[in-house]
Amino acid sequence: MASTINLYEKKIFSQNGEDGMIEEIFTRIGTTNRFFVEFGVEDGMECLTRHLLVHHGWSGVMMEGSESHFRNLVANTAMYPQVHVSHQFITRDNVPGLFKAHGVPNEFDLLVIDIDGNDYWVWQALDAYKPRLVVIEYNASYPPPQKMVIPYMENFCWDGTSYFGASLSSLEALGKKLGYALVGTDTRGVNAFFVRQDLLAALGFPALPAKLAYHPPRYGPDKGGHPHRGGPILEI
């Protein structure tokens, strides 16, 4: 079901309409330092923070695990000295240290998590940080009220199937524990938007239960999603 936030979907550099959604959210809740962190940016040309970097002058950190993507990322961000790029395979164990090493402030504006696997566990490991907005990929092949999280595997690499990440209901529950409210998802069923609870009044969009925020997958060949693959899951 579409929420009012979906009226603002607009693709500039993002894969879907996330650019417009992010822009509208910050128009409403404001910013503190216009600082972002994004994991899984590939070559940095189609990601959720490039619009903020190129058109709004934000600064931040982009991290990418693929060596070939990282080489292109370096080239594609060379003209923006305010962004730090890092070749890192993100785990729940190394991510707090990476934040410290890159000088990420405890409160910053935007965190984007898209690593096709341990997204849930990485967000959980960052409980000491309080970004104003968190955008995180969810597994739309598990609609609400299904709870689904893949067990933590440090070296997990996505194989192109439906076995990855966490369901929207599981991310909603984690968000609540961390002090965040689910306010919507993009209409292709890729990313979920969580705003810090203390900013909801300024946002003007309601917190939504997962069943109302959810959009089914509209990106793959198997019922709109990626080819199905089973595997061990945690119902948390």
CATH number at residue 57: 3.40.50.150
The answer to whether position 220 is within a domain reads no
The one-digit pLDDT tens for each residue of the chain (236 residues) are 456 899 999 999 999 999 999 999 999 999 999 999 999 999 999 999 999 999 999 999 999 999 999 999 999 999 999 999 999 999 999 999 999 999 999 999 999 999 999 999 999 999 999 999 999 999 999 999 999 999 999 999 999 999 999 999 999 999 999 999 999 999 999 999 999 999 999 999 999 999 999 999 999 898 899 999 999 999 99
Q: Tell me, what's the pLDDT at 122?
A: 98
Q: Tell me, what's the pLDDT at 1?
A: 45
The answer to whether position 223 is within a domain reads no
pTM over 0.95: yes
Q: Tell me, what's the pLDDT at 180?
A: 98
The answer to whether position 45 is within a domain reads yes
CA distances to 169, 191, 225 from 218, rounded to whole Å, are 18, 12, 6
The pair phi, psi for residue 95, each rounded to 5°, is -65, -40
The answer to whether position 120 is within a domain reads yes
Partnered with residue 194 across adjacent β-strands are 134, 182
The answer to whether position 96 is within a domain reads yes
The answer to whether position 137 is within a domain reads yes
Q: How far apart are the C-alpha atoms of 39 and 48, rounded to whole Å?
A: 10
The answer to whether position 232 is within a domain reads no
In terms of residue numbers, what domain contains 179?
Answer: 4-213
Q: How far apart are the C-alpha atoms of 12 and 92, rounded to whole Å?
A: 30
Give, in degrees to the nearest 5, the angle at Cα 22 between 171 and 76. Answer: 105
The four Cα atoms 147, 148, 154, 156 give a dihedral, to 10 degrees, of -160
Quote the number of domains for the chain: 1
The stretches of 49-94 forming alpha helices (DSSP H) are 50-56, 67-76
The phi-psi region of residue 89 (left if phi > 0; otherwise alpha if psi is between -120 and 50; otherwise beta) is: beta
The answer to whether position 236 is within a domain reads no
Partnered with residue 195 across adjacent β-strands are 133, 181
